[in-house]
Chain A
Amino acid sequence: MYKRTGWIGTATALLGVALSVLVLWMVFFWVPTEANQGVIQRIFYMHVPAAWVAFMAFGIVAFASAVYLWLGDERADMAAVAAAEGGIIFTGIVLLTGPLWGKIAWGTYWTWEPRLTLTLLLFFIYVGYFMVRAATENPEKGKRFAAVVGIVGALDIPLIHVSVLWFRSLHPEPVVLKAEGPTLDPDMLTTLLTGFLAFTVLFVGVLMLRYGLERAERELNLRQVTG
């Protein structure tokens, strides 16, 4: 069983890497430069797909956590950890690429732009998720605690989103550029969609590999315990 998922996971991850290379090529050599923002806009093709994966991953974490609490199925917990580890990496990518773009487009590394704020908070919810797990001596308890963090985080994210949007409308920023610009050129759209595909496939591949690893690790622990 492990060997099969391992093989599919490796293949998917490799496909994700290949597609990511393709996206890089498109970003650097193929897609036209955006008229208003210039070269810096090209970071958008990494940033937006990474954000999509970051939030999708958290959706998987919450769903798998709910399944784990409901059915107590070990596999759901393994899927939740695997998704959370992939998710926090992509959240990190969003938080790195956002300020890099913002420094040039907005003139500052950080602004309390609602989506940026939401992503930062998502990052900290992920951090809490891992800290709870790591700080619990009884692993079964740690799994349940982490699941609670994942579910409450997912329930709270819509409220955070609404509130940070509302807060921004209260304090308008002096210069706000829309990331997309007025209309998206077809070539740009193609690049963006390829970015979505590449990062999603890469994430799914890594998720499967990580899931397999977690499973192997737990089997090994179990064997050592039962001797």
Chain B
Amino acid sequence: MTYLRQLRAVIRKDLLQELRTKQRLATMGGFAVLVGVLFNYSIDQAIVAAQDIASGLIWMTLVFAGVMGVGRTFELEAEDGAFQGVLLSPIPRDALYLGKVVSNFVLVYLVVLLVLAVFGVFFQLDYGNHPFMLLAVLAVGALGFVALATLFGAVSSGTALGETLLPILVFPLLVPMVVYGASGTSRLLAGRPIAEVEGNLRMLAAFALVALFAGAGLFRFVVED
């Protein structure tokens, strides 16, 4: 019970901080919309239909915007040594990690919803017959992404290279998420039945679980001084 309360305290702190500064949400959201604008000019729609490649665009935007936003998690707290204060509080490290995962997930998923809506308007996307399955695939994929990016965000912010190191560390590890996520999304956008996507969802869930367990177990070695 105390564990849940500690978890909630971390989530509340992070979300409140975001709500007051709106730093990360604004940069991630702006980034995602502008990427949509650039995508529009980088695709010759006389040759490829946006509907056919939309899934790849959505997932790549998720990854790039996500790396940008999640990478900032620890940078913000590193200023003024605020993170030292967080570490001094009697909260187990795994609760701290999971709390950060949840708050980062909320931010990333809001951006995903924004991307879906904006790309939908920009490219006249048809969301297929199973919009809830589409949302579920993106949610489980985003959770796995956030689980890894939060752990390695802590690693990269502890190095001299900072956030620039984060993509080098997480991109190779994200391959399973992109493979199952993008193919599941493109099937749904193409109007295929749910049964064709269930396997993808299961694999995304497995990926998210492995990432969460690894992160919860290893986070304390990253933030230890």
Contacts and interface: CB of A to CB of B under 8 A. Distances in A.
Interface residues of B, number: 30
Given A136-B159, A159-B207, A121 B175 contact: yes
Interface string A121-136: 1001101100110011
B214 interface: yes
B214 A145 contact: no
A163 B175 contact: yes
B149 to A, nearest CB: 12
B169 A159 contact: no
Interface string B194-220: 000000000100110011001000100
20 contacts: A121-B175, A124-B172, A127-B168, A128-B168, A135-B159, A136-B159, A148-B151, A152-B211, A155-B214, A156-B173, A159-B176, A160-B175, A162-B176, A163-B175, A163-B179, A164-B175, A164-B179, A166-B180, A167-B183, A170-B183
A148 B160 contact: no
A135 B159 CA distance: 5
B161 interface: yes
Interface of A is mostly: helix
Contacts of A117: 175
A69 interface: yes
Contact of B155 (A125, A148, A155, A170): A148
A151 interface: yes
A144 B222 contact: yes
Nearest to A136: B159
- Which 3 A-B pairs rank lowest in CB-CB distance, beginning with the nearest? A163-B176, A135-B159, A163-B179
Given A141-B158, A144-B222, A149-B152, 17 more contacts: A124-B171, A128-B172, A132-B155, A132-B169, A136-B158, A144-B224, A148-B218, A149-B155, A152-B214, A153-B172, A155-B210, A159-B176, A159-B207, A162-B203, A164-B175, A166-B179, A166-B180
Contacts of B134: none
Contact of B221 (A69, A135, A153): A69
Nearest to B144: A159
Contacts of B207: 159
A128 to B, nearest CB: 5
A147 interface: yes
B65 interface: no
B106 interface: no
B148 interface: yes
A164 B160 CA distance: 33
Contacts of B218: 69, 148, 151-152
B165 interface: yes
Contacts of B224: 144
A131 B161 contact: yes
Interface in B180-197: 180, 183
A129 B168 CA distance: 10
Nearest to A128: B169
Interface string A142-178: 1011011101110110011011101100100000000
A163 B156 CA distance: 26
Contacts of B176: 156, 159-160, 162-163
A148 B222 contact: yes
B93 to A, nearest CB: 13
A35 B171 CA distance: 41
Among A137, A152, A162, max chain B CB count under 10 A is at A152
